[in-house]
Amino acid sequence: MLTKLREMFSGWVSKVVFGLLVFVFSFFGIESYFVARTDTFVAKVNGHEVSQQDFRTAMDNFRQRALQQSGGKLDGSYFEKPEVKRQVLDALIDRQLVLQAGDKLGAAVSDAQVRDAIAAIPAFQIDGKFDDGTYRAVLASQGMSPLTFQERVRSDLQAEVLPQAIGASALATDADVDAYLRLRGQTRDIRYALLPAPAVGDGAVSDDEIAAYYKAHPSDFMNPETVALQYLELNAADLKVDATVDDESLRKRYEEEKQRFVLPEQRLVSHILVKVPANATPAQQKAALEKAQKLDAEAKAPGADFAKLAEQYSDDLGSKRQGGDLGWISKGETDPAFESALFALQKGQISAPVLSSEGYHVIWLRDVRSGQAKPFEEVKDDLAKQMLDSERERKFSEVAGKLTDLIYQDPSSLEPAAKALGLTIQTTPPFTRSGGAGIAANPKVVEAAFSNGVLVEGNTSDPVELGPNHIVVVHVAKHTPATPKPLAEVRDVIRQRVLTERAEAAAKQRADALYAKLRQDGDLAAVAAEAGVQVQTAAGVGRDAQQPDAALVEAVFRMPYPAGGKPGTALVPLAHGAFALVALDAVHAGDPAKVAPAERAMLRQQLARLYGTEAAREFIAALRSGAKIDVAEDRMQ
């Protein structure tokens, strides 16, 4: 049979099979050369693709962080904005650039660094120590293998290598600090003349002017947008609880929770401490014990004054001044050795020296307040109230859960939920974004009322917490968009404004004319005389000075230096159309020598840190300008 097979395969059958195989293998996969490959990357950085998956993960992380930082205040639509998405993508691209540069230059992360970084993550720790079981369990719950996670941590660390090294090697010199200090401590000598705010006249304002103003400033004359709400309120305090509180069940509960009503035994203690250093030699320990024994004997001697001894000899700085008094102590508050000695004493006794982690204690038990149970009758009312409260709470969370379910089922109306739970639909009067009365006084309610889901989509809000065990859900009853106020209503306001603007424009014109003169001649006295105002002087004005006027001081430090025998000059607008004409006579640099060396060192570090952070940023910018980066905005999903 084998011969037969062989004959057959050496014949035409084999040729056909062979031919078929050749055909299949040579053309298999060839379609990929003809069909355009569909790209899936979001960005391509020097040939490395940032996948949509990477982008989504980064977006999720960003969302989580941003929500946490804003306390959940950010709207979901914020994360849909193209510029926000782009910001996240840019961070991914930067990361890729730094990784590539690091690889090219030879940056690396050692296994030990990866290990340390993982061990330092709190989620993998038990009692502050890394725990392998927890590590594996946490990873497993996120569907990740330890190897994948290690690689992720490694690449995170790797992306930090260069920026961190750039920051760590940043430098700032004494010259930089001096320059800063000279500027910070700079003072300026000025003269100035105040042109007072113009009086608003009572001139004629034509109807046309008023109409034009009204037209030009529509947003100034609007009735604000308002909303009126329907709401369901659920308050644990209003819930009827039908649990019966009879004596029997109360007594049962009392028995169960008896220790709650027992005061622990307390002991009034004084002590004398003879300190033993943590790494004491046997000789030191012995000396301390002898000293303690001697003090013990003295304290036990008839007529001895324990407090005085403590004051004189105790090494416990905290209690020494009070004659060794430690106050009332109950179990579980002090060192175990100290405690067992203390609770073995009878009232008035003094112990033999006791060794604790601090040293030898001589303990004097001054008084005992024994633990007593409160009788049932005394706590009965409290118990009854507690039982009702917990029953009420239970009922509240039950009803609140039902309410939430019902809203999710039908977010378009409050009726079904109200009917099913026996709640009444209440209403608020209309209120604006700045809130109103009743539940509308609560900012959380206002925020919910004007949120996208409630106001625009017309859904019922999620439960809003007004207090502990007190929630409302709201639904828009009536929404009034902002409407322009009628012209007649705002006519007087506009007239006043037009008059004010007129007066201020005139004042500005006058001030500009005076300033032109001042700039030309540098003679403030002459200009002030012409304006009929006084010249005032202020010498040694510092940057943060509030006198003569904070706005004036700020402007003074933006003025050009005096030059060629002429003062620097400026015209500074103040509030309500008032102006100051200013002449800068002298600039005094701050004295760097006056600053203490410690502060200088700190400033130099701060400057170095600023320069370092900026250098790292600009390093990445340089990498970016030399890289080939394709971004597929349409795939930023």
Partner 1 sequence: MAFEAYDEYEQSEKLRQWLRENGLSIAVGIVLGLLLIFGWQQWRSHRAQHRAEAAARYDALQMAADAQQTEQADTLTDQLMKDYADTPYAAFAAGERAARLIDKGQFDQARTALAWAEAHAGDAALKSLFTLRLARVDLAQGKADAALARLGTLPAGTYVALAQELRGDALVKLGRGSDAHAAYAAALAALPEDAPQRSLLQVKLDDTTPAGGSK
Size of the site for partner 1 (CB under 8 A): 52
Is 109 near partner 1 (CB under 8 A)?
yes
Q: How many residues does the chain have?
A: 637
Nearer of residues 178 and 296 to partner 1, judged by Cβ: 178
Is 39 near partner 1 (CB under 8 A)?
no
Is 501 near partner 1 (CB under 8 A)?
no
Q: What's the CA gap between 466 and 166, in Å, rounded?
A: 50
Distance in Å, CB of 130 to partner 1, minimum: 19
Work out which of 75, 492, 618, 630 binds partner 1, going by CB under 8 A. Answer: 618
Task: From 180-188, 335-343, 373-381, 452-460, give the range in contact with partner 1 by CB under 8 A.
Answer: 180-188
Non-local CB neighbours of 347 within 8 Å, separated by 6+ positions: 365, 366, 367, 368
Is 634 near partner 1 (CB under 8 A)?
no
Residues 555-574: x where in contact with partner 1 by CB under 8 A, - otherwise, as a string: --xxxxx-x----x------
Task: From 164-172, 221-229, 495-503, 575-583, give the range in contact with partner 1 by CB under 8 A.
Answer: 164-172
| 349-384 CB burial, b ≥16 within 10 A, e <16 | ebbebbbbebbbbbbbbeebeeeeeeeeeebeeebb
Is 62 near partner 1 (CB under 8 A)?
no
CA-based nearest residue to 583, from 629, 537, 623 = 537
Is 363 near partner 1 (CB under 8 A)?
no
Is 169 near partner 1 (CB under 8 A)?
yes
Task: From 75-83, 272-280, 336-344, 554-562, give the range in contact with partner 1 by CB under 8 A.
Answer: 554-562
Name the β-bridge partners of 329.
267
Nearer of residues 48 and 321 to partner 1, judged by Cβ: 48
Q: What's the CA gap between 497 and 210, in Å, rounded?
A: 9
Distance in Å, CB of 612 to partner 1, minimum: 10
Is 161 near partner 1 (CB under 8 A)?
yes
Burial of 314 (0-12, 13-18, 19+ CB in 10 A): buried
Distance in Å, CB of 593 to partner 1, minimum: 16
Distance in Å, CB of 560 to partner 1, minimum: 5
Is 5 near partner 1 (CB under 8 A)?
no
Residues 453-492: x where in contact with partner 1 by CB under 8 A, - otherwise, as a string: ----------------------------------------
Is 7 near partner 1 (CB under 8 A)?
no
> Between residue 409 and residue 438, which ones bind partner 1 under the rule CB under 8 A?
none
Work out which of 170, 274, 454, 476 binds partner 1, going by CB under 8 A. Answer: 170
Q: Tell me, rounded to whole angstroms, the distance of Cα 586 from its chain centroid.
A: 45
Is 174 near partner 1 (CB under 8 A)?
yes
Provide the 8-state DSSP code for 205.
Answer: -
Q: What's the CA gap between 519 and 532, in Å, rounded?
A: 18
Non-local CB neighbours of 587 within 8 Å, separated by 6+ positions: 186, 187, 188, 189, 561, 562
Q: Are 309 and 298 in contact (CB under 8 A)?
A: yes
Is 168 near partner 1 (CB under 8 A)?
yes
Is 582 near partner 1 (CB under 8 A)?
no
Residue 398, CA atoms < 13 Å, CB-side half-sphere: 9
The counts of H helices and E strands in the chain are 22, 19
The CA-to-CA distance between both ends of the chain, in Å, stands at 64
> Between residue 244 and residue 303, which ones bind partner 1 under the rule CB under 8 A?
none
Task: From 54-62, 160-168, 407-415, 510-518, give the range in contact with partner 1 by CB under 8 A.
Answer: 160-168
Is 165 near partner 1 (CB under 8 A)?
yes
Is 111 near partner 1 (CB under 8 A)?
yes
Is 176 near partner 1 (CB under 8 A)?
yes
Q: What's the CA gap between 415 and 425, in Å, rounded?
A: 8
Nearer of residues 98 and 445 to partner 1, judged by Cβ: 98
Work out which of 30, 175, 199, 575 binds partner 1, going by CB under 8 A. Answer: 175
Handedness of CA 373, 377, 382, 388 (dihedral sign): positive
Handedness of CA 578, 583, 588, 589 (dihedral sign): positive
* Kind and range of the H or E run holding 539: strand 536-542
Work out which of 101, 236, 383, 538 binds partner 1, going by CB under 8 A. Answer: 101
CA-based nearest residue to 140, from 149, 127, 151, 131 = 149
Residues 381-410: x where in contact with partner 1 by CB under 8 A, - otherwise, as a string: ------------------------------
> Token pair of 491, please?
């006519």
Q: What's the CA gap between 570 and 583, in Å, rounded?
A: 7
Q: Are 636 and 85 in contact (CB under 8 A)?
A: yes
User: What does the binding site for partner 1 look like in residue numbers (CB under 8 A)?
Assistant: 10, 101-102, 104-113, 161-162, 165-166, 168-176, 179-180, 183-184, 186, 543, 557-561, 563, 568, 604, 608, 610-611, 614-615, 617-619, 622-623, 625-626
